């Protein structure tokens, strides 16, 4: 999402800020009202989502999804070049995707229907994105079930940009002042993480213990290839 491929997508589309992210990631929902996008994204204030979504209205959602997939695929081809086990990793990820539930995970359902590339390296990253969307949808369920609201979850967690607490909430567009993150909020956050893991577990069941261990090992290798 912060790669050179993503930046090129932003330049080519003429979209800035959160707009290329929401139009690309959430375009699988179709030409819907911004409230629908906010419902699926979960952790962003509706005002942030609406501003970004409507600003990109000139870019058809189908085109945005294709370009977003192109970004993931291009990143995979570049970063996993020389990663000899891409085909096996893609196969294991595909089995997780095929076994994932679509209930309460609309972005996962939408992205699972997006065609995959033939190139194994590109397929790994797109499938990893699809698995991420499964966890994201189930995490929203777990957060709410644990008694947290989206802002509390953001304040007590960490984003992909490694921002903590208030800087993270500010980045997401939540207006100040922010509520205090109490010990109770932290406990509920821990509960939400455990529940998310439990909700995700059935998707990995088709792999069995051996396949799951292999998936973890290959993901660790791929992570070193990408970020090492």
Coil, helix or strand at residue 31 = coil
* Interval 149-202: pLDDT, tens: 999 999 998 765 557 899 999 999 999 999 999 999 999 999 999 999 999 999
Long-range Cβ pairs for the range 10-16 (8 Å, 24+)? 12/67, 13/56, 13/59, 13/64, 13/67, 15/55, 15/56, 15/59
- Using CA atoms in the order 210, 214, 216, 218, what is the torsion angle rounded to 10 degrees? 180
| pTM of structure | 0.95
140 Cβ neighbours under 8 A, 6+ residues apart: 42, 43, 104, 150
pLDDT in tens, 201-228: 999 999 999 999 999 999 999 999 999 8
Is residue 24 within 8 A of residue 68, CB to CB? The reply is: yes
């Amino acid at each position: 999402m912060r790669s050179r491929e993503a930046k090129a997508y932003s330049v080519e589309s003429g979209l800035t800020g959160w707009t290329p992210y929401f139009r690309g990631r959430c375009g699988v929902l179709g030409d819907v009202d911004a409230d629908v996008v906010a419902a699926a994204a979960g952790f962003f204030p509706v005002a942030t989502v609406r501003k970004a979504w409507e600003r990109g209205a000139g870019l058809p959602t189908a085109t945005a999804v294709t370009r977003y997939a192109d970004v993931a695929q291009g990143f995979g081809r570049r970063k996993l070049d020389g990663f000899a086990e891409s085909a096996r990793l893609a196969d294991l990820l595909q089995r997780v995707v095929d076994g994932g539930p679509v209930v309460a995970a609309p972005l996962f359902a939408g992205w699972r229907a997006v065609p995959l590339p033939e190139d194994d390296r590109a397929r790994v990253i797109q499938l990893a994105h699809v698995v991420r969307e499964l966890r994201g949808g189930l995490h929203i369920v777990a957060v709410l079930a644990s008694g947290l609201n989206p802002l509390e979850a953001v304040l007590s967690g960490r984003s992909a940009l490694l921002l903590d607490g208030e800087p993270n909430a500010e980045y997401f567009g939540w207006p100040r002042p922010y509520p205090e993150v109490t010990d109770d909020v932290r406990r509920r956050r821990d509960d939400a993480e455990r529940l998310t893991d439990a909700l995700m577990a059935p998707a990995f069941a088709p792999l069995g213990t051996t396949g799951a261990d292999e998936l973890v090992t290959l993901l660790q290798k791929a992570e070193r290839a990408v970020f090492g």
